[in-house]
A and B are shown apart, each in its own frame.
Chain A
Amino acid sequence: MDRHERRRRRKRQMPDDDIIITMENVSKAYSTGAPALNGVDFTVRNGEFVFVVGDSGSGKSTLIRLLLRELVATSGYINVLGYDLNKIRHRKIPKFRRNIGIVFQDFRLLKELTVYDNVAFAQRVIQVSGKEIRRNVPSILATVGLAGKYKAKPRQLSGGEQQRVALARALVNRPAILLADEPTGNLDPNNSWEIMKLMERINENGTTVIVVTHNREIVNAMQKRVVTMKRGVIVSDEEKGGYLDED
């Protein structure tokens, strides 16, 4: 589908059925310094697994924050799951975000809550009923392999286990898209692999997964789509790609 066709569909508020993320000529400039993103074109189809790689300052985190509508693009068009993120009303942002799960490098679990409550928290704050929470949380904990540790506090878990809890929290509301910002950054190689395999399984079950990472070995081994960024622009976008060497 060419750009004109995409524009035509956008005008009708009808994105390509299969495309769930569209970024067209997106730039983002902060008040000081060079633009963090500069004319980025990027689409993601439903059910894809995409690695976004690049050095620090290449614009990966800005890309994620734009997709979450934490930031607003300076120019260009962003559509995620049919939401025009430039025009979305403030009060509709929470509803939009319920379609996206996010995990971070530092897990960001609530230390005083148990594993169960950390995951249940994600449902409580969007007003899911107690009955549904009691059904969903054990199920998602079983999916990430933590069924037996639901009473544990985060400090009693390994880094890998904490990231599994974060994954369970991101997935419990059944998001269409999972965004992972350096999910293996604080993990040893074994735990990193386990987390990536878990995300691959989640992707096989239909969730679109976008992983921002520096982990060269994992990117090269998994043979997924790889989008490489440098100084705010996409320098390569390859199906079954690998981590580009520094030039």
Chain B
Amino acid sequence: MRISTLFYTLRQGIRNIFRNKLFSLASIATIGACLFLFGLFYAVLMNFQNVMNTTQEDIHITVFFELNTSEQRVREIATTISRRTEVSHVIHVTAEEAWEEFRQTLGDHAEIYGDDNPLAGSDTTPSSENIVVYINDVAQQRTLISYVDSIPEVRKINRSDFLADILSGVNSLIAYATVGIIGILLLVSIFLISNTVTIGISVRREEINIMKYIGATDFIVRSPFVIEGILIGIVGAITPLVLIYLLYNQVIGYIINNFTVLAEVFNFLSVDLIFQTLVPVSFAMGAGIGLIGSVTTVKKHLRV
């Protein structure tokens, strides 16, 4: 394609937007709303995942063993478990180490035991020797537990189901809500762009007919409308990005100043970190919406 043709196509695409101001604005506003919500949910989701990543670093299960399980066997089981993908790392806690830790908790009351280790177990009581298994992904805790539970020597598993379930549930909820709302808005955006392009085609019907008689190719006739759609999508992406950039710092600042508890618990991500992904994704989504909306319409209404 000649450079002059490229510029001609671009000029025509831009002219189409201005010829059809009202619908172009409506399309830009809808794409803007869609991408604004997307950006908002994305920022929340990223921050929440950051919190989850930080929190789940502490989520672990503690595995206790049946009577007469040798320390050698416990070490073997620890090694096998540590090789699983959902496992971050495993700590083997001997009965002595368990008692040492518990002794700290008991304080002065621990003195009644003297040099004995009540957690060492006896012929009838299992020892408190255990392994602590740290998890990579909180959502995989159940899978891990069912595996560990199937090991014959395992007597008991202590776990933090409640926290894991909440974290994993909220994460899924935010993700589903994001996908649902964005899906609806994407469809509305595509529909509006399609309408804008349809009106553009009817406004330019005469010109299109002349182009066909002269011998313009399908590409030359159709491309200005596709350019129009893509430009609307890209322009639609700029406004929400600017808005989110300005709003994000304000909101985080407000939370830090007014909700100190939250600020201590949550480690908020910087806007720059969020924008590293949000900017290219928003532009790609805007251009993609424009492309899909215009290409489908042009194919339907512009049989050259």
| A positions within 8 Å CB-CB of B | 68, 70, 91, 94-98, 102, 108, 110, 121-122, 124-127, 129-130, 169, 173
What residue of chain A has the Cβ atom nearest to residue B4's Cβ? A130
Q: Are B214 and A127 in contact (CB under 8 A)?
A: no
What A residues does B214 contact at CB under 8 A? Answer: 97-98, 121-122, 125-126, 169, 173
Partner of B215 from the list A108, A110, A126 (CB cut-off 8 Å) is A126
Confirm or deny: B206 has a beta carbon within 8 angstroms of a beta carbon on chain A: yes
Q: Given the interface contacts A108-B206, A127-B5, A130-B4, does A102 sit within 8 Å of B213 by beta carbon?
A: yes
Partner of B211 from the list A68, A102, A125 (CB cut-off 8 Å) is A125
Q: Are B215 and A94 in contact (CB under 8 A)?
A: yes
- Distance (whole angstroms) from the CB of A85 to the closest CB of chain B: 14
**Complex Cα gap A96–B218 (Å):** 13
Q: Given the interface contacts A91-B218, A108-B206, A110-B207, does A129 sit within 8 Å of B4 by beta carbon?
A: yes
- Distance (whole angstroms) from the CB of A160 to the closest CB of chain B: 20
What A residues does B210 contact at CB under 8 A? Answer: 108, 110, 121
Q: Are B4 and A94 in contact (CB under 8 A)?
A: no
What B residues does A129 contact at CB under 8 A? Answer: 2, 4
What A residues does B218 contact at CB under 8 A? Answer: 91, 94
The 10 lowest CB-CB distance pairs between A and B, nearest first, are A98-B215, A97-B215, A125-B216, A94-B215, A94-B217, A127-B5, A122-B214, A125-B211, A102-B213, A130-B4
Confirm or deny: B212 has a beta carbon within 8 angstroms of a beta carbon on chain A: yes
| B positions within 8 Å CB-CB of A | 1-2, 4-5, 8, 206-207, 209-218, 220-221, 304
Give the dominant DSSP class at B's interface.
helix
- Distance (whole angstroms) from the CB of A119 to the closest CB of chain B: 11
**Complex Cα gap A156–B206 (Å):** 20
What residue of chain B has the Cβ atom nearest to residue A125's Cβ? B216
Q: Are A124 and B8 in contact (CB under 8 A)?
A: yes
What residue of chain B has the Cβ atom nearest to residue A106's Cβ? B206
**Complex Cα gap A97–B209 (Å):** 12
What B residues does A102 contact at CB under 8 A? Answer: 213
**Complex Cα gap A22–B294 (Å):** 40
What B residues does A122 contact at CB under 8 A? Answer: 214
Further pairs besides A97-B212, A121-B214: 11, Cβ < 8 Å: A68-B213, A70-B212, A91-B217, A91-B218, A94-B212, A97-B214, A98-B214, A98-B215, A108-B209, A124-B8, A126-B215
**Complex Cα gap A55–B304 (Å):** 30
What B residues does A173 contact at CB under 8 A? Answer: 214-215
What A residues does B5 contact at CB under 8 A? Answer: 124, 127
**Complex Cα gap A121–B215 (Å):** 12
